[in-house]
Amino acid sequence: MLRRLRIRNLAVVEELTWELGKGFNALTGETGAGKSILVDAFLLLLGERADRGLVRTGAEGCLVEGELGGAERFRDWLEGKGIEADGEGTLIIQRQVGSTGAGRQFLNGSAVTLAVLKELGDRLVDLHGPHDHQTLLSPAAQRGALDGFGGLEKLVGEVRQAWRAKRESEEAQEAFRKNLMGTDGATREILDHQVKELEEANLVVGEDEQLERDHSAAGHGRRIMELAGELSGILESGDENVLEKLGKVQKSLMEWERLDGAAGELREKNEMVVETLRELVREGERRAEEVGLDGERLAALEARLNCVLSLRKKYGGSVEAALGKLADLKKRQWELANAEGTERELAVAVKKAVEAHRVLAGKLSKERGKAAPLFAREVTGQLRGLGFQQSRLEVAVQKSEALGAEGGETVEMMFAPNPGEPPRPLRAIASSGELARVMLGIKTVLAERDEVPILIFDEVDANVGGETAKAVAMRLAGLGKTHQVLCLTHLPAVAGAADAHFCVTKTVEKGRTFARLERVEGESREKELSRMLGGEGKAARAMARELMERGKATKV
């Protein structure tokens, strides 16, 4: 519920704080006093476009702030938008509009777009009157209202789930078919050839780099062999070679060790040097042999290198990419080999999903067909007490061209104001007063099922009086038991039935116009109702007291 509405520098309102109550709230005042400005302020909080003309003359901008309680139901939605949810269920909406028309908006201190405010507004408020924020005028909302009346929400959820499953199975089948598209015999032969080519190559990661090094070295094979010979001669095979001299060193160290045991470490180090040099000779000879290839071995190296480089270039630019391509090709090969069976399985899955959706949609269609006349009859009964003695509401449930996520029907609520006239869609009702009363009848029927917590009625009492006014008052009071209701009214009977009564007045001070708001109770409420009745004489006062007593009686 809306607990508090704070306004600053909006049209004739300089500064105003409105503390609303639960249940049915009535807002009254002279024509032009500024009642509609309060509704305009609330609409700004719900994401309506801002007219810079709303900013009070001389002010740099206006501010509207609303505090709502019981917002726990929006916690998941808020968190989904990245907005911190208040632990106590409080929601603060703020809208700032500059004199140039630019502005900012916030939810619980987080900056948001107007689209987010609009989405919140659709969940939060239904406004009926000469405004655009009327969710029940859309066929989708009317279908939802019928489903809510019939208690069909669970079945609707099952239909949606079945539709998603159907779409997923159809998409899987379509993706598989596209994957196979153009795969004729020639293409399969190419695929088999590519797999065979890559498998027979037996590529190894890093092999290409080693082959390139080996091939580069082989071009200098003769000189490498000469250098290896020189190395061997210096270290091991030549006259006065290093290893021979180190052998003599070793004999000396062994004799030294016999004389001085501490020399053992020197002998061991010399042995390590000898072994290292011998390993150096062996590795040098081995490497020289590898690169000093004969013609046959060099040809084999070049052939392998050419093969690896060719496959690397053909299949992605690296050995890793070529091996990845091989895995993809083998997977594709398997898919083609099993295509017929897979296609058959996918077709069966689609058929089952389509049938499951069709059965559930058919069940939903029957239930909607049962609920529609019951809903129309109940709303028509409500309309009888709202001044529409000869009017009726019809609910047209028509088959759609195709089954969808919401089933196979479109739902349109039709209103026939007079006998002999064909019913027309609700959105075609020209009179805002008529539309508001029709919506009041619908909302009364949906009251226990409607999830929108705040209802605003503007001009709901236009062109009515007498017993119709009493009926309107009773229905608004009834809606106040399950919703927070705000009604702008000129009818004392309606205002007298409210749980809380607020009065707007307008004054002129030093050439500036000011609108003010106060909650009227007791004598002040009696005085306001007397004014609405046409005077402040004894008769009007007595009638005002009677309306107040009647309002109290409806709440017992």
Task: Note the pLDDT tens digit of each residue in 56-115.
Answer: 888 888 899 999 888 777 788 888 888 887 777 788 999 988 877 678 889 888 888 888
Residues 159, 357 contacting (CB under 8 angstroms): yes
- 74 lies in a domain? yes
Q: What is the pTM of this model?
A: 0.59
In order of 364, 383, 491, 498, the CA distances from 466 in angstroms are 42, 15, 10, 17
**Last-in-domain residue among 339, 363, 394:** 339
pLDDT at 363: 95
Kindly indicate the confidence band of residue 471, based on its pLDDT and cuts at 50, 70 and 90. confident
- Which residue is listed with tokens 């069966």? 348
pLDDT at 168: 94
pLDDT at 287: 74
For the ranges 39-53, 103-117, 440-454, the maximum mean pLDDT occurs at 103-117
Same domain (yes/no): 189, 289: yes
Kindly indicate the confidence band of residue 361, based on its pLDDT and cuts at 50, 70 and 90. very high
**Last-in-domain residue among 339, 354, 369:** 339
List b or e across 430-461, with b for residues whose CB sees 16 or more CB atoms inside 10 angstroms: eebbbbbbbbbbbbbbbbeebebbbbbbbbbb
Q: In what order do the strands lie in the sheet with 392-404?
A: 392-404, 407-416, 424-425
Residues 363, 408 contacting (CB under 8 angstroms): no
What the block records as the tokens of 99 is 């004199």
Same domain (yes/no): 459, 540: yes
Mean pLDDT to the nearest integer, 391-407:
90
Kindly indicate the confidence band of residue 126, based on its pLDDT and cuts at 50, 70 and 90. confident
C-alpha span between 286 and 541 (Å, rounded): 122
Same domain (yes/no): 120, 191: no
Mean pLDDT lowest among 160-164, 166-170, 310-314? 310-314
Same domain (yes/no): 461, 316: no
For the ranges 194-203, 384-393, 508-517, the maximum mean pLDDT occurs at 194-203
User: What would you measure as the largest C-alpha separation in the chain, in angstroms?
Assistant: 144
**Last-in-domain residue among 293, 315, 339:** 339
Q: For residue 244, with 0-12 CB atoms within 10 Å meaning exposed, 13-18 middle and 19 or more buried, which class applies?
A: middle
Mean pLDDT to the nearest integer, 282-310:
74
- The DSSP output letter for 300 is H
- 398 lies in a domain? no
State phi, psi for 348 to the nearest 5 degrees.
-65, -40
Q: How far apart are the first and last CA of the chain?
A: 22
- 147 lies in a domain? no
In order of 38, 109, 541, the CA distances from 49 in angstroms are 15, 20, 43
What the block records as the tokens of 199 is 């498998």
| The pLDDT of residue 164 is above 50 | yes
Residues 159, 364 contacting (CB under 8 angstroms): yes
DSSP β-ladder status, 500-509 and 24-29: parallel
- 60 lies in a domain? yes
Q: What total number of domains does the chain contain?
A: 2
Same domain (yes/no): 115, 216: no
In percent, the amount of the chain with pLDDT more than 90 equals 17
For the chain, the residue count is 556
Give me the CATH number covering residue 76: 3.40.50.300
Mean pLDDT lowest among 274-278, 284-288, 348-352? 284-288
Same domain (yes/no): 125, 216: no
- 389 lies in a domain? no
Same domain (yes/no): 189, 115: no
Mean pLDDT lowest among 122-136, 351-365, 396-410, 466-480? 122-136
pLDDT at 182: 55
Same domain (yes/no): 212, 333: yes
| The pLDDT of residue 535 is above 70 | yes
370-389 pLDDT, tens digit per residue, is 999 999 999 998 888 787 88
- 482 lies in a domain? yes
Beta strands in 99-241 (DSSP E): 103-107, 110-111, 125-128
Mean pLDDT to the nearest integer, 379-400:
87
Residue whose C-alpha is closest to residue 146's, from 399, 365, 357: 365
Beta bridge partners, 125, equal 454
Same domain (yes/no): 196, 88: no
Same domain (yes/no): 439, 548: yes
In percent, the amount of the chain with pLDDT more than 70 equals 89
Residue whose C-alpha is closest to residue 40's, from 10, 14, 70: 10
Kindly indicate the confidence band of residue 222, based on its pLDDT and cuts at 50, 70 and 90. low
Same domain (yes/no): 203, 317: yes
Q: In which domain, by residue range, is 510 found?
A: 2-129+423-554
pLDDT at 462: 65
pLDDT at 371: 94
| The pLDDT of residue 427 is above 90 | no
| The pLDDT of residue 132 is above 50 | no
Same domain (yes/no): 467, 549: yes
